[in-house]
Structure formats: C-alpha cells, structure tokens
Structure 1
Amino acid sequence: MSDEPLLGPLEAARIREGIAAAVIGVPEGLADSLEHDAAGYLRLVDASRVGAEEASRLLREAVQGARAAGHSWETVGRILGVSRQAAQQRFAAPAAPGAPTGGGPGSPERRILSPLTAFNEMAALDEAGRDGWHLVGYGSFFHEVEVSGHPWEHCRVTLSSGGRHRRMEAAGWIPVGEGWFPWRYYKRPLGPVKES
C-alpha cells in the first residue's frame, strides 16, 4: 500500500462540504440567525461540537472496522499520518467481554460471539439465529446474543441507506443499537424453534 491518500481531493472536499452543510443546516433557523443574532453563533459552536463528536465517533468505529477486516495498526497509522503505536494507543478498543452476561435471576441467557470480523459476523449471527439466539449488543470483534424461544434472522445495512431503514422497520425488522459505523444491524423473529 502506498503513502498516497485513499480519497481524491474532490472526494475529501465533498465530505468536508457535507459535514459543514449538516452542522449549519440541521439546527432549525441557524443559518439565517447568523445574519442578525449573536446567539446564533453560540448555537453554531454547539452544532460544531456535536459534529466534531460524531466525526470522532465515526473515526473510532472506522478504525475498529479496519482492524476487524484484518488491517494492521501500521497500515491504519499510515492512513492517519501517525505511528503504529500512536494509532493503537488512541484507538485500541477494550477486549471483548469473555463470559456470558445476563440481567440477573430470571433473565434470558446471554453469550458473546467472538472473535468476529466484518467478513464472518453475519455467518455467526445466521447460525446463532437458527438456534434461537438474537443480537442484543455489539462492539469491536464481538456480538452479544440472547436466547429466545424462536429463530431469528439478522441483517446489516450501511448507515447511509436512508429510506431503506424505514422500509425495513415497516417490514418487521428491529434495529439493534445505534449502529457500528458503517453498519446498522437489524433482527427479525421467525417462527418457533424447531426441536432437534
């Protein structure tokens, strides 16, 4: 892999423009208020803070996704313009939980599927779903599933899929969490679990 940027200048400019447009365009009336209201600039600071926090979260999740796809800390650091050690210190996720969790007596049993990558997680969820386990949480290299009395199907779609998310929910798909950039995960119950 060369030291050349992976995005071209036009792509980078479009991303910057999109972020700026969201920061200034999403808060109701913010752009217009900047012409006549000093308080509008404080709203702009707050909107920029939210944008920066979200960009930071997306970067953390993108780095974890690259690691889950098999890329080394050296490669990630090179793309970020920092050393391997600096990338690892800043972005290394805590280890996946090792033991099944639960909510106390009487709560459904939970377990951790790990280690997972972007390339094998859906197969692991398919297998778990057939056995009556459904997704309840996730993180870098793991999914947490909970047992139920029927099989489940799982899917993931990119966060940029706009209207597709509403159509999926209308078709009975249940979103799980807020998403793990660049994915949003869904689950849907099927019929009763078949006895083996």
Structure 2
Amino acid sequence: MSDEPLIGPEESRRVREGIAGAVLGAPDGLAESLEHDAEGYLRLVAATRVGAEETSRLLREAVQGARAAGHSWDTIGRILGVSRQAAQQRFAAKGSATAPGATAGGPGVPERRVLTPLTAFDEMAALAEAGLEGWHVVDYGPYFHVVEASDHPWEHRRVPFALGNRHRRMEAEGWVQVGAGSFPWAYYKRPLKGRNR
C-alpha cells in the first residue's frame, strides 16, 4: 500500500457533508426547527447519536470486508491511524461472527453446510455453484456463508447496501433479502425459474 491517502480531501469533504446532511435531513423538519425551537437541539443530539452508531457499525463491517478481501491488520491499522494490535482488538469478529457448524439434517430439518473460507472475490462464484446444486444461503459473516439444502436450484445476488429503489425492485422480482445486509453489501436469493435438480 502506498503512503498516498486512499480518498482525497474533496472526497472526504463529500463524505462528511453526506453524513451531516443525513443527520439533519432524516428527522422531519429538524434543520428548520433549529432556528426557533430549543427542543430541536435535543432532536439533533438524538439524530446525531443514531448517525454515530450507524457510522460505527459501518466501520466495523467495512473492516471485516477488508479482512475478507485479504488485507492485513497492519494495513487496516495504518489506514485507521492505530497499531495493528489496536485495530485487531477493536474490530476482530467475536462470537456470532464465526461460522456456525454444518448440520446433518433429519426428518423435517434441511441439511446445512458452511462454505468457508470465502472472500469478497470468490463468495459469489461459490454461491452460484452451490445454488445450482440446490443450496441457498441462510446466514453469512466474514469468510463464510451458511447454505441450506432444498429440492430446487437457487440464484444469489449481492448488491450495494444503500440502493433503496433497487432493493424494492428486486423484491418485486421475487428476490428475498438474506439477513439485514452487511455493509457494503446486501445479499439476495430466489429459486431459479424453470429448472429442477
């Protein structure tokens, strides 16, 4: 990695303005209320808290995405302005982010498998292959996807997280979102039409 910044001053300014605009613009009438209503400042504090929580969550997911793309803790720490150890202690996946085990299935319980290790660069090919064999994703995390057996093939899609209209259009086309999304991606699945295993 070079010592040049990954985003320039103009890009940084646009990110900051976008976040400030979202905080001020999401609550109805918040920006206007600041001119005449002391209560508006309390709403501003509440909206900013939500924004801070969300940017913190996005940062955690962005770091996990960088790890899944193969970047080292040393590189991530340099970008964050902290040591490798500090980055790892703060952002390493804990508890539920580890891949759940596969299950053998049984009467009325579909079999599950864990596809791992996966990266941002090979996960969609792995899901495409599994989907053609009748497996569909039911859970995911850094480096893994959990797939469940079914009696028909599936297709999977990964789309950028914040494309609201696109998500509604996909749902109208029969796609089902898996989980709540993991910044920067949202994952979708649907049965593959006209094909049986």
The one-letter amino acid paired with 1:43 is R
What is the distance in 1 between the residues matched to 2:16 and 2:171? 31
What is the distance in 2 between the residues matched to 1:104 and 1:46? 48
Task: Give the conservation status (yes or no) of the 8 Å contact 1:3–1:78.
Answer: no
* Count of residue pairs the alignment pairs up: 194
Task: Give the conservation status (yes or no) of the 8 Å contact 2:134–2:150.
Answer: yes
For residue 187 of structure 1, what is the aligned residue in structure 2?
189
For residue 152 of structure 1, what is the aligned residue in structure 2?
154
Q: 2:179 aligns with which of 177, 180, 183?
A: 177
Query: % of aligned pairs identical?
Result: 73
Q: Once the 2 structures are TM-superposed, how far is the Cα of residue 18 of structure 1 from its aligned partner? A: 0.3
Structure 1 residues 30 and 67, CA, compared in 2 at 3 Å: closer, same or farther? same
Q: Once the 2 structures are TM-superposed, how far is the Cα of residue 37 of structure 1 from its aligned partner? A: 1.9
Higher deviation after alignment, 90-99 or 123-132: 90-99
> Root-mean-square deviation (CA), in Å?
1.9
What is the distance in 1 between the residues matched to 2:28 and 2:9? 31
For residue 88 of structure 2, what is the aligned residue in structure 1?
88
What is the distance in 2 between the residues matched to 1:146 and 1:23? 39
What is the distance in 1 between the residues matched to 2:106 and 2:51? 38
Matches within 5 A, 1:18-167: 18-94=18-94, 96-101=98-103, 106-167=108-169
What is the distance in 1 between the residues matched to 2:145 and 2:51? 27
Task: Give the conservation status (yes or no) of the 8 Å contact 1:132–1:148.
Answer: yes
Structure 1 residues 193 and 89, CA, compared in 2 at 3 Å: closer, same or farther? same
For residue 16 of structure 2, what is the aligned residue in structure 1?
16
Task: Give the conservation status (yes or no) of the 8 Å contact 1:149–1:192.
Answer: no
Q: Which runs of 5+ in 1 are unaligned?
A: none
Q: Once the 2 structures are TM-superposed, how far is the Cα of residue 171 of structure 1 from its aligned partner? A: 1.2
Structure 1 residues 48 and 104, CA, compared in 2 at 3 Å: closer, same or farther? farther
Task: Give the conservation status (yes or no) of the 8 Å contact 1:69–1:118.
Answer: yes
Task: Give the conservation status (yes or no) of the 8 Å contact 2:114–2:144.
Answer: yes
What TM-score, normalized to structure 1?
Answer: 0.91
Is 1:7 matched up with 2:28?
A: no
What TM-score, normalized to structure 2?
Answer: 0.91
Superposed CA deviations along residues 120-158 of structure 1, whole A, max 9, x for unmatched, are 100111111111111111111111111112110001011
What is the distance in 1 between the residues matched to 2:86 and 2:14? 28
Structure 1 residues 159 and 98, CA, compared in 2 at 3 Å: closer, same or farther? closer
Q: Which runs of 5+ in 2 are unaligned?
A: none
Task: Give the conservation status (yes or no) of the 8 Å contact 1:109–1:146.
Answer: yes
What is the distance in 1 between the residues matched to 2:177 and 2:98? 22
What is the distance in 2 between the residues matched to 1:44 and 1:193? 54
Q: Once the 2 structures are TM-superposed, how far is the Cα of residue 46 of structure 1 from its aligned partner? A: 1.0
What is the distance in 1 between the residues matched to 2:39 and 2:152? 54
SS at match of 2:39: helix
What is the distance in 1 between the residues matched to 2:80 and 2:105? 39
Structure 1 residues 104 and 58, CA, compared in 2 at 3 Å: closer, same or farther? farther
Task: Give the conservation status (yes or no) of the 8 Å contact 1:96–1:114.
Answer: no
Task: Give the conservation status (yes or no) of the 8 Å contact 2:100–2:146.
Answer: no
